[in-house]
Structure 1
Amino acid sequence: MRACLIAAVVAAALTVTPASATVIISGDPGGKMQDYTAHFRQVRDSGEPVVIAGTCVSACTMVLGLVPSDRICATPNAVLGFHAAWTFDDSGRRVVSASGTQDLMSTYPAPVRAWITRRGGLTPKMMYLRGRDLAAVVAPCNSSRTASASRAKRFGGVHQADGTNAPRASFGSAE
């Protein structure tokens, strides 16, 4: 079953027409919340479907609240990672951003917020959503959803080392 699903995603990625696209998220470490907000709003406005086919952590998870849920599916390999937003303090150290974390939580749909709350809320420690728990909040991809894609656009992390103190949801980048 997993091989068939992966084959369908790959087939969708290799078929190119200008009519539509599928955004495939895999191996995305996150980054600045403002960058992901802008990107996923563009995806939402384009009407493109999203396939979460691998790791999507930190600010990448904002896709769940910024793209309509009926246009998002997750493969069996999908893993979502959540943690508190952070920023830099005056000495350049990473510190939790209460306002950024509140903004991040407000982005998520109610079932994701409930899942996070049941696990103690967003903290600096990463918590992972996968398997059955993920299938309860993100529709599993099926062959008709992934095969309907005409071409695929991969979206990885957006990283900018511009020195701003914009809230970030990622601890993973060395900025």
Structure 2
Amino acid sequence: MRRLALFAMSIALLAATSAHAEIRIVQSPGGQVGPFLDLFEKVRESGERVVIDGPCLSACTLVLSIVPGERICVTKRAVLGFHAARSVDRRGRFYAEPEASEAVLAAYPGPIRDWISRRGGLTSRLLLLKGRDLAAIYPRCR
């Protein structure tokens, strides 16, 4: 239930700025992949720019695979967080999804794939891309 509330909050934050021809991600802990795919498909179709202005973790990073890179910019507060795909069983235990991890990694733009690979690939450990490393891949927002 808490994850659903956090996802709803993330969606509300994203939708709140859409009238200004940009989507601003200020804090997204991630969540289930499906809703993020649907949301980012709509953003791609809208032609709006995406401003990453805070943490964009886990499934939120799928924006990089769906929205064209020239429509994405980052602020000094931007942080991207990557980890291997995982699912939850009926008992609430996480288990790895290696095929899904491979598919997600392959969908990321080349510079993101390279950055992740240089750090050991997608594992259960959260990899954080921020600061100069992030600004070397995506432009700073104006």
TM-score, structure 1 as length reference: 0.68
Which is greater in Rg?
Answer: 1
Aligned to 1:88: 88
Name the amino acid aligned to 1:104: V
Which stretches in structure 2 are left out of the alignment for 5+ residues?
1-16
Larger helix share, 1 or 2 = 2
Correspondence 1:104 to 2:91: no
Which of structure 1's runs of 4+ aligned residues deviate more than 4 A? none
Aligned to 1:57: 57
Deviation of 1:90 after TM superposition, in Å, equals: 5.5
Deviation of 1:92 after TM superposition, in Å, equals: 3.4
Aligned to 1:40: 40
Which stretches in structure 1 are left out of the alignment for 5+ residues?
1-15, 143-175
Say how many residue pairs are matched.
126
Aligned to 1:170: none
Deviations 1:71-103 (A, max 9, x none): 100001101111111002364310111122112
RMSD between aligned alpha carbons? 1.7
Aligned to 2:113: 113
TM-score, structure 2 as length reference: 0.83
Deviations 1:19-57 (A, max 9, x none): x52100011000111211111111001101000001100
User: 1:124/1:69 Cα in 2 relative to 1: closer, same or farther (>3 Å)?
Assistant: same
Name the amino acid aligned to 1:75: T
Aligned to 2:24: 24
| Greater relative contact order structure (CA < 8 Å, 6+ sep) | 1
CA distance in 1, matches of 2:30, 2:18: 29
Correspondence 1:137 to 2:137: yes
